[in-house]
A and B are shown apart, each in its own frame.
Chain A
Amino acid sequence: MNPTDLTLRELADALAAGELSSEEATRACLDRIRATDERLGAFLHVAEETALARARESDRRRREGNALGALDGVPVALKDNISTAGMPTTCASRILEGYVPPFDATVARRLGDAGAVVLGKVNLDEFAMGSTTETSAYRVTRNPWDLSRSPGGSSGGSAAAVAARQVYGALGTDTGGSIRQPASHCGVVGIKPTYGRCSRYGVVAYASSLDQVGTFGRTVEDAAILLQAIAGHDPLDSTSVSEPVPDWVAATRGASVEGMRLGIPKEYFVQGVDPEVEGAIRAAIATLVSLGAKVEEISLPHTEYAIAAYYVVAPAEASSNLARFDGIRYGLSVREGGLRDVYLKTRAAGFGPEVKRRILAGTWALSSGNYEQYSIRAQKVRTLIRRDFEEAFKRVDAIVTPVAPTAARRLGEKAEDPVEAYLADVFTLACNLAGLPGMSVPCGFTSKGLPVGMQLLGRPMDEATLFRVGAAYQQATDWHRQSPPEVA
């Protein structure tokens, strides 16, 4: 048996039992990356030498009886917008080509402290702006279930790498669905925790009030093990919350949905949802009912305004967050002419079209004369959406919806129409606008063999319920045990 077929939990057990070394597991992953990544395109940077060194350190710790925990020696990948000291961090943008941060993001440091072996950095939409990973300036990432299709995005590299068994887990970021949607399209578990659960320190900002780091795993438990390691208050991030982190891994063990109240928002089951997708979600809901959950229809009346609000708030913050890429201190710098030329030429050459589009839209939304009408209104919509959820969570413990209206799209299919692409984010945006935890769990396949994910939304700070529902569902189903054929 190839070590890469193991889940993260199975690997952790094998490492603990001495059946396998971290170096062996790491080499197996590196071999698999070598064998598959030319076709898959998940990695932007493979840190082979440092990974093997870290793996050997882990093996030494274990031999000496100082193993750090479940993640010690486990190979993982990081989305390339998470700063890693000594390893390039490009955000899949030309403007950060060659940039090597002098510091680790808090989440990267915490993974390192837990003994995880970072194999490298994986692809994303440029600055996490996109939902297909196609806006990456460097390479195309393909869906391991169908190489002609996108893995989703923006954390497409993370989802594809986990689905293709190149790594045991990965970190991503989710600003409007960038973890849940690629997880759904690649048939893996992805969780975006509550806003503030994970430190954003060192995570290159797209939209600061929406960005949140989360994890990918083949199983709910794997995703929980990773999240457990990175979550928790960070004094370096003033928006990180101080609430203690519960034992999520324990919550996944022997989880039950008995007596749990699940809400099905009618606004998420509307025209435009692929019938095969809706069928898979309905079947998953039926499974949860058969496991003892109680289901009721709920209403989230302001859902339809989420897209408009998101595409004001996110670009507005992005336009400011990306101002620092000016060719003066780091990254690309086109040194021609005067100061103004350096700004214009560096940014013209360094940013791709989608990033420019959002910077322009965001600059416009913040400009005097537009600010009241757009930015202030968008914030009001945000409040209304948050209230929708507060009302709903008075009656139910979690909400079940589709992640995306369709399964993975063909590469290049919608590159020409950004607005249609934005509409596909309709089910994932509200979660970020309200700051809630959200998870995608594999729940079936379309007739073309493409994975479908169900989205679970929870109360603020209540990731535990999502882990319980997801784990209970996975105990009863085996969708997550399927392997993508294309990269076998």
Chain B
Amino acid sequence: MARSDWEAVIGLEVHAQLLTDSKIFCGCSTAFGAPPNSQTCPVCLGLPGSLPVLNERVVEFGVRLGLALNCTIREHSVFARKNYFYPDLPKGYQISQHELPLCENGHLVIDTPEGEKKVGIIRAHLEEDAGKNLHDPEGGPSRVDLNRAGVPLMEIVSAPDIRSSDEAVEYLKNLRSILVYIGVNDGNLEEGSLRCDANVSVRKRGETGFRTRVEIKNLNSFRFLKQAIDFEIERQIRVWEEGGQVVQETRLFDAQAGVTRSMRSKEEAQDYRYFPEPDLPPLRVDEALVARVRESLPELPREKQARFVREYQLSAYDASVLVADKAVADYYEQAVAAYGKNPKTVANWVINEVLRLIKENPEGIRATRAEPERLAALLRLLDEGRINAGSAKAILEEVHRTGEEPEAVMRARGLEQVSDVGVIEEAVARVIAANPAELEKYRAGKKAVFGFFMGQVMRELKGQGDPKLVSEALRRALDS
């Protein structure tokens, strides 16, 4: 049976750390990188008798996230205990939400080759993070760091609406972009402030039910997400086609080998014995809070993309590249404002040049010292014919590194374009005088030799001649 007879059914579960200053149930700092256990108190250490108190800021962030994902915000949601034993879980249970989550029934729109697609969000709920077990590579005793215990998380569960690894990547990219836009998450997959698990099953095209699904963990990059899902789809199709049964299990993605491996089966799955958390009253979110948060929501990526297309006459693709990172979009708009015209040109420069310069930089657009005003100044030099496009790119690279004014760089490096017709005509005369043979050919009708003369004149002008003026002067001289 052909691969095309099968389709994948994928749902993603994403854990997003909320960027509050303090933990979800105590006042400890959430700052990353402090010495182990230095950001703890009786509550997040789970000392006997300690009790959780909900951080109101976390609720606000949760509502923000829910609204940005088009969810219904429950007026009344309930915290529950998820019970299991693990050294990084100081109370022996995680406070989460189970039956009545804060956010429900949302969706997120992604672009696919077939057009826009809505991926459902079943729910998004609040919970606390666990600590971290630190294992000694030498085989000594393991230790536990509880700095992360109690850091607020939102678990966002998509509907099984995703049909390919590309769609999954697109979903995660869009989700990440939204989370960063609304300021609730830093979008860092590698450091784990955004974590993704995938539920994957396959079925024959035309089937309406679902076949057994497998949960894949440890997908901490877009590439791993794609690789793991692709591997899993192929694996499951093979199992079914060979007459086997896919077993319900949790699999771990081995990034080095590029395969998923069985971690635990359904039979080994834990019974979490959820029950309502008696230490916390039901969470009430009143309409006023929802209204206030809704009011404060920024323009979201897709809205911004549509506006860029409309307002700046960009292509949908260019707009989508610019809005993917809010900081880039802001940079672009500031550059357009500073330049005051031709937003399409600005977009080309941002997409092709500025983004290339910051490509490998984790700080993104913040890393460049070529601020929007400087980019605009550079483009003006280009307009005025004082530099050519090649020089402009060289100047931008230096401005990016040093933060110097483009004009200063132009002068210092002697890159100002020669626009003095007299100077150009002199250079043209010298070149023609030095190449009588080529002149003969040209005059004999070999017009292609024009390119040779053009190159020679530009060389004479050290590459800084205004190409338009050079070309005009050359024609005048050759055709006279």
Residues of A within 8 A of B (CB): 81-83, 89, 91, 96, 99, 101-103, 105, 200-205, 207-209, 235-239, 316-317, 319-320, 322-326, 328-330, 339, 343, 363, 366-368, 371, 375
Question: Is A203's CB under 8 angstroms from B281's CB?
Answer: no
Question: Is B54's CB under 8 angstroms from A238's CB?
Answer: yes
Chain B's closest residue to A342 (CB) is B87
Interface string of B174-201 (1 = CB under 8 A from A): 0000000000000000000000000000
- CB contact between B48 and one of A83, A320, A371 (< 8 Å): that residue: A83
Smallest CB-CB A-B distances: 7 pairs: A323-B92, A366-B273, A208-B278, A209-B278, A202-B49, A204-B48, A83-B49
B contact residues around A82 at 8 Å (CB): 49
Separation of A355 and B45 alpha carbons in the complex (Å): 23
Instruction: Determine how close the nearest CB of chain B comes to the CB of A163; give it in whole angstroms.
Output: 27
Question: Is A324's CB under 8 angstroms from B275's CB?
Answer: no
Question: Is B275's CB under 8 angstroms from A371's CB?
Answer: yes
Question: Is B281's CB under 8 angstroms from A239's CB?
Answer: yes
The answer, yes or no, to whether B11 is at the interface (CB within 8 Å) is no
Instruction: Determine how close the nearest CB of chain A comes to the CB of B257; give it in whole angstroms.
Output: 27
Question: Is B49's CB under 8 angstroms from A203's CB?
Answer: yes
Question: Is A329's CB under 8 angstroms from B279's CB?
Answer: no
Given A103-B42, A343-B85, A366-B273, CB of A89 within 8 Å of CB of B48: yes
Separation of A161 and B46 alpha carbons in the complex (Å): 31
Chain A's closest residue to B87 (CB) is A328
Separation of A42 and B48 alpha carbons in the complex (Å): 22
The answer, yes or no, to whether B289 is at the interface (CB within 8 Å) is no
B contact residues around A208 at 8 Å (CB): 278-279
Question: Is B85's CB under 8 angstroms from A323's CB?
Answer: yes
Question: Is B53's CB under 8 angstroms from A324's CB?
Answer: no
A contact residues around B144 at 8 Å (CB): 328-329
A contact residues around B281 at 8 Å (CB): 238-239
Instruction: Determine how close the nearest CB of chain A comes to the CB of B80; give it in whole angstroms.
Output: 10
Separation of A316 and B45 alpha carbons in the complex (Å): 22
Question: Is A237's CB under 8 angstroms from B92's CB?
Answer: no
Separation of A451 and B400 alpha carbons in the complex (Å): 88
Beyond known contacts A101-B47, A330-B47: 10 more, CB 8 A cutoff: A96-B48, A200-B49, A204-B48, A239-B281, A320-B81, A320-B275, A323-B83, A323-B93, A326-B85, A366-B275
Given A102-B42, A329-B46, CB of A317 within 8 Å of CB of B278: yes
Question: Is A367's CB under 8 angstroms from B271's CB?
Answer: yes
Instruction: Determine how close the nearest CB of chain B comes to the CB of A364; give it in whole angstroms.
Output: 10
Interface string of B44-85 (1 = CB under 8 A from A): 011111111110000000000000000000000000010101
Chain A's closest residue to B280 (CB) is A238
Given A320-B93, A326-B92, A363-B273, CB of A103 within 8 Å of CB of B47: yes
Separation of A323 and B85 alpha carbons in the complex (Å): 7
Question: Is B46's CB under 8 angstroms from A324's CB?
Answer: yes
Given A236-B51, A238-B54, CB of A324 within 8 Å of CB of B92: yes
B contact residues around A202 at 8 Å (CB): 49-50
B contact residues around A207 at 8 Å (CB): 278
Separation of A209 and B277 alpha carbons in the complex (Å): 9
Q: List 10 A-B contacts (CB under 8 A).
A: A208-B278, A235-B53, A238-B51, A238-B53, A238-B279, A319-B273, A324-B90, A343-B85, A368-B271, A371-B275
Question: Is A366's CB under 8 angstroms from B83's CB?
Answer: yes
Question: Is A105's CB under 8 angstroms from B49's CB?
Answer: yes
- CB contact between A205 and one of B49, B54, B275 (< 8 Å): that residue: B49
The answer, yes or no, to whether B91 is at the interface (CB within 8 Å) is yes
What's the dominant secondary structure at chain B's contact region? Answer: loop
Residues in B107-161 with C-beta less than 8 Å from chain A: 144
Chain A's closest residue to B37 (CB) is A329
Chain B's closest residue to A104 (CB) is B49
B contact residues around A235 at 8 Å (CB): 53
B contact residues around A375 at 8 Å (CB): 275
Interface string of B88-110 (1 = CB under 8 A from A): 00111100000000000000000
Instruction: Determine how close the nearest CB of chain A comes to the CB of B140; give it in whole angstroms.
Output: 13
Chain A CB within 10 A, most for which of B42, B48, B81, B144: B48
A contact residues around B91 at 8 Å (CB): 323-324
A contact residues around B280 at 8 Å (CB): 238-239
Separation of A197 and B209 alpha carbons in the complex (Å): 53
Chain B's closest residue to A196 (CB) is B281
A contact residues around B46 at 8 Å (CB): 324, 329
Separation of A54 and B122 alpha carbons in the complex (Å): 58
Residues in B360-383 with C-beta less than 8 Å from chain A: none
B contact residues around A326 at 8 Å (CB): 85, 87, 92
Instruction: Determine how close the nearest CB of chain A comes to the CB of B39; give it in whole angstroms.
Output: 15
A contact residues around B50 at 8 Å (CB): 103, 201-202
Given A208-B278, A238-B279, A326-B85, CB of A320 within 8 Å of CB of B49: no
Separation of A130 and B398 alpha carbons in the complex (Å): 78
Chain A CB within 10 A, most for which of B42, B47, B87: B47
Given A326-B85, A368-B271, CB of A200 within 8 Å of CB of B47: no
Question: Is A200's CB under 8 angstroms from B51's CB?
Answer: yes
Separation of A181 and B81 alpha carbons in the complex (Å): 31
Instruction: Determine how close the nearest CB of chain A comes to the CB of B394; give it in whole angstroms.
Output: 60
Separation of A101 and B46 alpha carbons in the complex (Å): 12
Question: Is B92's CB under 8 angstroms from A238's CB?
Answer: no
Question: Is A91's CB under 8 angstroms from B87's CB?
Answer: no
Question: Is B83's CB under 8 angstroms from A324's CB?
Answer: no
A contact residues around B81 at 8 Å (CB): 320
Chain B's closest residue to A379 (CB) is B276
A contact residues around B271 at 8 Å (CB): 367-368
Separation of A375 and B276 alpha carbons in the complex (Å): 11
Separation of A319 and B47 alpha carbons in the complex (Å): 16
Given A102-B42, A317-B278, A371-B275, CB of A237 within 8 Å of CB of B51: yes
Given A238-B280, A363-B273, A371-B275, CB of A324 within 8 Å of CB of B48: yes
Instruction: Determine how close the nearest CB of chain B comes to the CB of A10; give it in whole angstroms.
Output: 33
B contact residues around A83 at 8 Å (CB): 47-49
Question: Is B47's CB under 8 angstroms from A102's CB?
Answer: yes
A contact residues around B85 at 8 Å (CB): 323, 326, 343
Interface string of B392-428 (1 = CB under 8 A from A): 0000000000000000000000000000000000000
B contact residues around A89 at 8 Å (CB): 48-49
Separation of A195 and B303 alpha carbons in the complex (Å): 50
A contact residues around B48 at 8 Å (CB): 83, 89, 91, 96, 99, 101, 204-205, 324-325
Separation of A477 and B323 alpha carbons in the complex (Å): 82
Instruction: Determine how close the nearest CB of chain A comes to the CB of B322; give it in whole angstroms.
Output: 45
Chain A CB within 10 A, most for which of B273, B274, B281: B273
Separation of A330 and B45 alpha carbons in the complex (Å): 10
Question: Is B42's CB under 8 angstroms from A320's CB?
Answer: no
Separation of A200 and B50 alpha carbons in the complex (Å): 8
Instruction: Determine how close the nearest CB of chain A comes to the CB of B298; give it in whole angstroms.
Output: 32
Separation of A203 and B49 alpha carbons in the complex (Å): 5
Question: Is B273's CB under 8 angstroms from A367's CB?
Answer: yes
B contact residues around A203 at 8 Å (CB): 49
Separation of A205 and B93 alpha carbons in the complex (Å): 14
A contact residues around B273 at 8 Å (CB): 319-320, 363, 366-368, 371
Chain A's closest residue to B279 (CB) is A208
Chain A CB within 10 A, most for which of B49, B50, B280: B49
B contact residues around A204 at 8 Å (CB): 48-49
Separation of A205 and B49 alpha carbons in the complex (Å): 6
Question: Is B45's CB under 8 angstroms from A329's CB?
Answer: yes
Instruction: Determine how close the nearest CB of chain A comes to the CB of B43; give it in whole angstroms.
Output: 8
Given A238-B281, A363-B273, CB of A320 within 8 Å of CB of B52: no
B contact residues around A237 at 8 Å (CB): 51, 53
